[in-house]
Amino acid sequence: MKDIKKTIFESKAYSCLDCGKCTSACPVARHDSGFSPRMLVYDAIHESGPEVFRDGRLWQCLTCASCETICASDVRYGEFIRALRGGAYEQGISGQCTHGGALQALMHIMASDELNQNRLDWLTRQLETADTSDTLYFVGCAPYFETFFADLNTKSLKGATGSITLLNRMGIVPAISPNERCCGHDLLNSGDVEGFLKLARQNVKEIAESGASRVVVSCPEGYHTLKEEYPRYLGNTGFEVVHIMDLVAQAVLDGSLQFHAVKKKVTYHDPCRLGRISGIYDQPRDILGAIPGLQIVEMGHHRSSALCCGTQSWMNCGSVNKQIQVELLREAKATGADILLTACPKCKIHLQCAMHDEVLGQDLKIEIKSFASFVAGALAR
């Protein structure tokens, strides 16, 4: 059994001052008075027994890091939650999976060695890719999302095609792994460390075999997992991980990427994994700022206080999560923007799902686009 004391020590939960700032910042606590990040820490410290693992609140946390940014004692709450979930998972307890467990099954299936996927059918002739290259573009689960969420018309692959277009325009012809696996973020986040490690080892092997020294990622979760979690669990992975926004922002600064005028008003949503967890706030705003004619408006909650898209790791989605999504969409509507941009394919799915509300319907409807596809669409010819 996972040592709770060790977890409390490592995640610095011992330094909790009991001030309650985390609860005030927590998007779940705002809509569910029964949930409190502080109480979870309190219970873990005072009970330290297996009953902590049986706490249903454990699975409600969105690991959005809103509490971490505000914490006076620098408690690493995400790490704390993940460790407790790991302990619970070892005992056979897990959260309620959504979508009939299809996504979880998909992740576990992808951990198989002999899998020979057929995931690159969406590549067109306009998108230049190479068999071997210094740079590998990590697509992520977008091909699966596009198919699985076809009824929501999420167009998850637009982010990937947009990213490749941007890379091509910067003179980079990336390699794409035909047998890339899920990055494992969601398994790690739901306590299945063993499942995560299987996927991580497969991916590291695939990338090493491709010979690429640099991996470009557009999915915020994939970026965080490849950059931070892989080295933490597997040691030196032998490749550099870059977010596409870093490259694009640099190219915009150099003047090597030019845009045509877009007379639109947009608002940008900071995904948790990209903003609060990876600290990428300025790059998307710099890139959008370079598009002539584009008006950028900020939502009430933006940058480090940005609202979470409401759901995590394909589990525990309920009324509270819906309320968070509604709150975010209302804020986006209130800015008067024509388009809501987000860099995360999952945020896009969750927000589009929330828009399918029959009662609130038009109240929440706003055009939502993937950041990379929007920027690629604005490239000068």
Residues found near other proteins in the complex (CB under 8 A): 50, 53-60, 88, 90-97, 99-106, 108-110, 112-119, 143-144, 147-148, 150, 192, 194-195, 316
Distance CA 52, CA 345 (A): 33
For other proteins, give the closer residue by CB, 292 or 318: 318
Instruction: Report yes or no: 218 and 158 within 8 Å, Cβ to Cβ.
Output: no
Distance CA 312, CA 152 (A): 18
For other proteins, give the closer residue by CB, 193 or 252: 193
For other proteins, give the closer residue by CB, 154 or 316: 316
Distance CA 208, CA 171 (A): 23
Q: List the beta bridge partners of residue 175.
A: 130, 136
Helices 193-210/102-110 angle, 10° precision = 50
Instruction: Report yes or no: 326 and 364 within 8 Å, Cβ to Cβ.
Output: yes
Shortest separation between residue 329's beta carbon and other proteins, angstroms: 24
For other proteins, give the closer residue by CB, 109 or 253: 109
Residue 97 CB partners (closer than 8 Å, separation 6+)? 103, 104, 314, 315
Residue 368 three-state SS: strand
Shortest separation between residue 147's beta carbon and other proteins, angstroms: 5
Distance CA 184, CA 103 (A): 11
The tokens describing 124, both together, are: 């067109």
For other proteins, give the closer residue by CB, 52 or 368: 52
Instruction: Report yes or no: 18 and 37 within 8 Å, Cβ to Cβ.
Output: no
The tokens describing 370, both together, are: 């993937």
Shortest separation between residue 117's beta carbon and other proteins, angstroms: 5
Distance CA 95, CA 270 (A): 26
Distance CA 65, CA 269 (A): 15
For other proteins, give the closer residue by CB, 92 or 235: 92
Shortest separation between residue 32's beta carbon and other proteins, angstroms: 11
Shortest separation between residue 316's beta carbon and other proteins, angstroms: 6
Shortest separation between residue 99's beta carbon and other proteins, angstroms: 6
Q: Which of 217, 201, 123, 113 is nearest to 167 (CA)?
A: 217
For other proteins, give the closer residue by CB, 118 or 126: 118
Shortest separation between residue 338's beta carbon and other proteins, angstroms: 32
